[in-house]
Amino acid sequence: MVLTTMADLLHGEGMQIFKYNRDNSPFISVMLPELLQLSSGWIAEGRRNGEPMNLIVDLLDEPGFNAFAASVTEGDLIMINKDVFEILFDTARALVSHGIIMPEITSGETVTAYKSVGDPGLLAAGSRPWTISELADPVRDMLAYRIAQSGFIYILMHEMNHIFRGHLEYGAQTTGLALRAEVGTDRLSGPSGLEDETLEWDADLGAINHMLKMALNPITWPEDGTVKWIFNEDDGPTGTPEQGIQFGTLGPLICTLIFEASETSEWDDKAPRSHPHPLFRYATTVMNAVNVIEQAVSGPKDRLKAGLLSGLESLHESWRLTFDRHGSMVPSDDLDGFVAAHSDRIADYRETWFKLRDELNKSHRHGGFMSDLTQYPAGHQKV
């Protein structure tokens, strides 16, 4: 495969790096270096063609909710649009302002709720439909920050999975460019088809599992091609088990809802896409959390399930209150049909992934937490 340079890639797509600093990106300038430091161990183990991995993570000077991963001459590249964290933080603050999501996390200060702020589709397009400021309760504001952080890490980890799990090199065989973009634009257009949907599903699974591990800090070990989990009974890095499962899932779920808000196709449209339908990505996030809990060797399973359910209900209610348009969020008019269609599509992804497996394994980056499961799609489960 012939790789392009980073400069040629950006120039060719008409894009520029956004040079972030403490003034123009106060949150990212602290958070991103910290996240990369936390990941440095397994990045060091990831190798490209036998050479040490050079991972470059930058912000892109583009509006809207998008990111891409690419493999270029200099190394492996993750680019995230400059406003992604701010879009997530605005959204999380508005959602948290209603006092429904994790109501126990509060100082008791009254917070003004952001109601009916407009069309959530504007979020993905890059214009923020409201002027939102810090919540009056600093404890609620910190909750919003951590939920937004969960969403940002999910996007970052989704791109990491594209790199580590061989998706870029595979895509290069069909498009000539080792790149995967999350949202197609005039300049960045992704290929579509069942194989592309499958790779996106695989990256989602890996990212969701990473989020659950970060939030719940289970003991894990590989065994017989799966990963066994034991959850902590005690409070973990993100609070109680009930709160931990919500920190691990709310960020990814909000990301899929932002994608959904600008989605024009229906979930029952079977035409090939670049990514699974956002409502399917939402359902996959939930199903995967349920699977992880149920297949865990031990731990507070009932409390985790209760926390997950409470998180889903409070997210739905808060989203409904926050935005004007929310009709398609839950296909409640045909839930059975939706569940069946989602499960059929997952079966298609599994079948497709196994067909691609040998090819993906050729460029799989053997390192860290992704090294043990190359014989299965990302995630811990075998079936």
Give the number of other CB atoms < 10 A from CB of residue 133: 10
* DSSP assignment letter at 99: S
Q: Compute how many other C-beta atoms are within 10 angstroms of the C-beta atom of residue 339.
A: 13
For Zn ion, the closer of residues 137 and 200 by Cβ is 200
- For 56, counting Cβ atoms within 10 Å of its Cβ (0-12 exposed, 13-18 middle, 19+ buried), the class is middle
- Closer residue to Zn ion in complex, CB, 229/259: 259
- Other C-beta atoms lying within 10 Å of the C-beta of residue 49: 8
Minimum CB separation of residue 272 from Zn ion in Å reads 15
Q: How far apart are CA 322 and CA 57, in angstroms?
A: 32
Strand partners, 274: none
- Number of neighbours of residue 239 by Cβ within 10 angstroms: 17
> Whole-number minimum distance, CB 190 to Zn ion, in Å?
8
β-pair type (75-81, 55-60) = parallel
Nearer to Zn ion, 114 or 282 (CB): 282
Shortest approach of Zn ion to residue 203 CB, angstroms?
5
- CA distances from residue 140 to 98, 99, 101, 107 in whole angstroms, order as listed: 10, 8, 10, 8
Collapsed DSSP state (helix, strand, coil) of residue 227:
strand
Nearer to Zn ion, 197 or 200 (CB): 200
Looking at the Cβ atoms of 90 and 200, the one nearer to Zn ion is: 200
Tokens 């989990």 belong to which residue? 229
From the CB of 43, what's the least distance to Zn ion, in Å? 19
- Cβ closest to Zn ion, residue 141 vs residue 159: 159
* Nearest to Zn ion of 97, 256 (CB atom): 256
* Cα–Cα distance measured from residue 321 to residue 111, given in angstroms and rounded to the nearest whole number: 15
Give 16's DSSP letter: -
Residue ranges with strand state E in the chain: 17-18, 47-48, 51-52, 55-60, 67-72, 75-81, 179-181, 219-223, 226-230
Q: How far is the CB of 310 from Zn ion (least distance, A)?
A: 29
Nearer to Zn ion among residue 13 and residue 200 (C-beta): 200
Q: Which burial class, exposed, middle or buried, applies to 50 when counting CB atoms under 10 A from its CB (0-12, 13-18, 19+)?
A: exposed
Output 62 or 200, the one with its CB closest to Zn ion. Answer: 200
Nearest distance from C-beta of residue 339 to Zn ion, angstroms:
24
Contact 292, 229 (CB under 8 A): yes
Question: Which residues contact Zn ion by CB under 5 A?
Answer: 200, 203
